[in-house]
Amino acid sequence: MASNMEPVAVTSQKHDPAWKHCQMFKNGDRVQLKCIYCGKIFKGGGIHRIKEHLAGQKGNAATCLRVQPDVRLQMLESLNGVAVKKRKKQKLAEEMSGYDNTNSSGVEVVNNHCGLNTEIVLLPVPEMIEHDGDVYANREDGTSSKTSGRKKKGRVRKAPGPDLVNSNTAALASFPAMNSKKVSNTVHMAVGRFFFDVGLPVDAVNSAYFQPMIDAIASQGTGVVGPSYHDLRSWILKNLVHEVRNDVDQCTGAWGRTGCSILVDECGIQERVKQGTIFLRSADISHAIDSADVLYELLKETVEEVGLRNVLQVITSCDDRYVIAGKRLTDTYPTVFWTPCAGRSIDLMLHDIGELPTVNMILDQAKSISRYIYSNSVVLNMMRRYTFGVDLVDLGTTRSSTDFMTLKRMVNIRHNLQSMITSEEWMESPYSKKSEGFAVLDTISSQSFWSTCALVTRLTDPLLRLLRIVSSEKRPAMGFVYAGLYRAKEAIKKELVNKEEYLVYWNIIDRRWEQLQRHPLLAAGFYLNPKFFYSLEGDAHLHIRSLVYDCIEKLVPDPKIQDKIMKETASYHGGVGDFGRKMAIRARDTLLPSESTF
């Protein structure tokens, strides 16, 4: 009987998540569904029966023993969601049926006698509506609006009067869930219509001010009239400029108390304090971008603009021209630190690791897979069905991080990719018969490829985690740089064991870390984080403490204050006195150090 079954394509109109995990066949006049995991065929019950089968819900269908745990959980959540919606619908029906034909709010519910299982809700209309004179033209006392003549050309009707707005709002408030979905769709369509009419990029909805704008409009009811062209270019613009200046003044006011860091990149110069980061200035040096002298003069001007006493450090890229300019700047201003960008240094470590022959070969094979899949829409859609919507490429902040994050993503969905290339759908596809398709089949089927991928992922994952930390703006990452690199080296040593093998990776890290390792501010950030400092073993304490003393001598010119700090650092270093209390020891792993490390 199975031989008479003809496969039927699952159309895009079927939105239930269970359709991704079954195949549809036509057997005569009947449609049957087949589980793609265990092969069980269901002759009835529809997609709901398949969902119960995958979720392992006892009752109408046998449990699938081969389905993946994440799929089982997804189906179970979908079933629970359907049940919740059904209960809400029943509750709403009960609430609606409880209303009398005439209730205290003036809302009438009238039965529909047209054979439909629905009711008509009549909302109250205010007895008198006061119209603005601009709404209807040439209207005299005692005359109807029908006799008022034609509407003036180009005139825009104003918002309804307050009586109408308040009455309708009160009436609709009696039914909070009646039209919520319809209202949301109406709002979304209106927003989309505006976006596409003026050509706004859709990622504008990710703006921090988008949802507050929606909330502000909704809070004023239905009578809101948007700002005009002249409003936007006049008083609104002036008020926003005033707000920005107040924010900048708050940041600049903190310079004298906490100091600040100057961030320099190819896009501009920013200033960062505890209160936040502000854009300071930009300069066009495209004619001399490779000149260290021009960069030095630019950095010098910026330091003088902010004020020498207010500048703690200047952070730049670790390229050669920035290194030369940064060292000249510290010679000119001995109290200012030049700090190479930790994120850029870690990215260069990943880049150098990617240049190793074994790693480079694995990355090339992984890229060939992703290129072939993403170059064919049919193959891409097939892959997304087998990975349940998970993309193959995982975008990072840099090219090197993207390569290794994508490699990790491929390891995580390895079994999904193998299921795809062994399926009938792939075998019958014309793309599998091309030379690139055979290469993809060989690579994904190779056990050595996956074992090497997993090894490379374990070696680079600590560096990727550290890169995410230093790229985050949620908290200062200065103390995490030392700890992260120490842990990355220890993870590599534990993974490879053989000294000759792990020293290859250690040398790459040390070569790029050389500038960061000797930096007093980074050492101080590590030293003042008790969770990291007290967990460090060996003679590294001595090296770090020496750099902390360099930091103190540079930032604290008063000898008396230096002596006081020295006494307290001795207690901190030995974990004695108040630092040795039980509650202080417990707090080492739970409390973050002061956020004023910048």
Instruction: Identify the structural domains of the chain with CATH numbers, from first to last.
Output: 2-92 (no CATH), 252-339 (3.30.420), 341-499 (no CATH), 518-598 (no CATH)
130: pLDDT strictly greater than 90 = no
Assigned token pair, 305: 């603009």
Matching residue, tokens 């049940």: 83
Spatial distance between the Cα atoms of 198 and 378, rounded to a whole number of angstroms: 33
pLDDT band at 30; cut points 50, 70, 90: confident
pLDDT score of 139 more than 90: no
Say if residues 280 and 270 touch (Cβ distance below 8 Å): yes
This prediction's pTM? 0.60
Residues 336-344 have a mean pLDDT of 88
Return mean pLDDT, the chain: 79
Of all residues in the chain, the percent with pLDDT exceeding 90 is 31
Q: How far apart are the first and last CA of the chain?
A: 74
Mean pLDDT of the region 417-442: 92
Handedness of CA 149, 154, 155, 159 (dihedral sign): positive
Under a CB-based contact definition with an 8 Å cutoff, are residues 407 and 362 in contact? Answer: yes
Secondary structure element (H or E) that encloses residue 479, with its range? helix 478-496
Q: Does pLDDT of 242 surpass 70?
A: yes
Calculate mean pLDDT across residues 474-503. 82
Amino acid at 37: Y
Across the range 490-499, mean pLDDT stands at 90
Report pLDDT for 373. 94
Q: How deeply is 35 buried, as exposed, middle or buried, from its count of CB atoms within 10 A (0-12, 13-18, 19+)? A: buried
Tell me what pLDDT residue 87 has.
67
CA distance 592 to 461: 24
Instruction: Please give the pLDDT value at position 268.
Output: 60
Whether residue 552 contacts residue 565, with contact meaning beta carbons closer than 8 Å, is answered with yes
* Cα gap 52→58, rounded to integer Å: 8
Exposure of 188 in the CB half-sphere (CA atoms within 13 A): 6
225: pLDDT strictly greater than 80: yes
Q: Specify the length of the chain in residues.
A: 598
- More confident position, 325 or 573: 325
Residues 438-465: pLDDT tens digits?
999 999 999 999 999 999 999 999 999 9
Of 216 and 140, the structure prediction assigns the larger pLDDT to 216
Indicate the range of 86-95, 214-223, 505-514 predicted with least confidence.
86-95
For residue 265, pLDDT beyond 90: no
DSSP string, 33-87: EEETTT--EESSSHHHHHHHHHHT-TTTSPPPSSS-HHHHHHHHHHHHHHHHHHH
Provide the strand spans (E) within 276-360. 276-281, 311-316, 337-340
Count the Cβ atoms, other than its own, within 10 Å of residue 520: 22
**pLDDT for residue 588 is more than 70:** yes
Q: pLDDT-derived band of residue 228, with 50, 70 and 90 as boundaries?
A: very high
Sheet holding 260-264, edge to edge: 276-281, 269-273, 260-264, 311-316, 337-340
**pLDDT at residue 174 greater than cutoff 60:** no
Lowest mean pLDDT among 45-49, 231-235, 346-350: 45-49
Whole-number percent of the chain with pLDDT over 70:
76
Mean pLDDT of 324-349: 90
CA distance 299 to 289: 13
R_g of the chain computed on alpha carbons: 34
The first and second tokens of residue 240, run together, are: 């926003």
d(CA 569, CA 575): 10
Distance separating alpha carbons of residues 242 and 583, to the nearest angstrom: 47
Q: Are 387 and 369 in contact (CB under 8 A)?
A: no
In the predicted structure, residue 177 carries a pLDDT above the cut 70:
no
